[in-house]
Homo-oligomer: A and B are copies of this chain.
Amino acid sequence: MTIKDIARLAGVSVATVSRVLNNKDKGVGDGTRARILRIIEETGYQPSPMARNLVLRKSRIIGLVVEDLQNPYYGMLMKGVQDGAREKGYNIILCNAGNSDERENHNLDFLTEQNVCGIIYNSFNKEKDFVLERIVKNKIPMVFVDGRGNMKGGNGIHVDNARAMEELVDRLVMAGHRTIGCLTGERHINSSEQRLAGYAQALEKNGIPLDPRLVVETKYLIAAGRLGMERLLERNIRGLTAVVCCNDLIAIGALECLQDKGIQVPEEISVTGFDDIDMCRHVRPRLTTVSQPNYDIGRVSVEMLIRLVEQEDRGRVDEVVFLPKVVVRESARGL
């Protein structure tokens, strides 16, 4: 069943069918239009996206690159992106950024080969500027999710990581904590860097000097968080009563480490996370953390991208900033 069949059935030319299909060019007689519509309905005809895309010289496929499919944080984001995309008739190709440049290059090859019409990039990692360059060179519209603040040339959704972390630490200080550790992700991960910056700002604001021994760099993984906490503990810092973690996975690892050592949370040490993944509600003590509207972030980013793709006004730079909010549960004392 092709457009030709419909044309034949309706006794018109394919051009006319195409016109009603595209609903533009109002110039189609009401009678003709109705007849064609009825036939399309009856036959269940669906135009071939391949042919259409070929002539339009663009696909309706969006590339979505995330740092780690396994990170539960991405569930909602993906769902938001998908729902938004589907509503407008777009598809998603999902890519795992992983940690290697090779994989990253492979992803980009794949995406351009598939002729994606745009890319949503959520793996911002300062070491990966070559990615940015490649995409920009290819002139593929893109939106960065949670990239760094000054993504010149790219539109973006940002989460004000620094401010949220600052608020969290501020509240900790209000609650009487003075010696607060910080377990970060890898240095090249933007979100981690920003959260660390927020931590530093809060201390400064409260006139507490930042002791570098308080911060230890780990990775966004439970096992790494565990190790990080161990290392922090080994430093034997006097008066340590709280540690903020740059994501939930790290915090959960920290929790486990503390528990293994018989250190009470939050009585002896308070622990906080960031992201509010599902697990936060199910570990004990329940994790106090910072939540971001991930579903919305996903949705807004596709919408932004589609607007970009369809309007072709690629010059404009949009920016939407979300402010995450602190979710108080049980793992931090005094909040």
Contact = CB atoms under 8 A, between A and B. Distances in A.
Interface of A: 46, 48-51, 53-54, 59, 61, 69-70, 72, 75-76, 78-79, 82, 86, 91-94, 96, 110, 112-115, 222, 252, 256, 259, 278-279, 282-284
A112 B47 CA distance: 11
Which secondary structure dominates chain A's binding surface? helix
Given A93-B92, A115-B49, A79 B69 contact: yes
Nearest to A252: B282
A79 B96 contact: yes
Contacts of A82: 69, 94, 96
Give this chain's copy count.
2
Contact of A53 (B50, B69, B75, B279): B50
A279 B222 CA distance: 11
Contacts of A282: 222, 252, 256, 279, 283
Nearest to A112: B46
A140 B263 CA distance: 58
A313 B184 CA distance: 53
A70 B59 contact: no
A54 B54 CA distance: 8
A203 to B, nearest CB: 30
A54 B48 contact: yes
Given A110-B86, A252-B282, A54 B46 contact: no
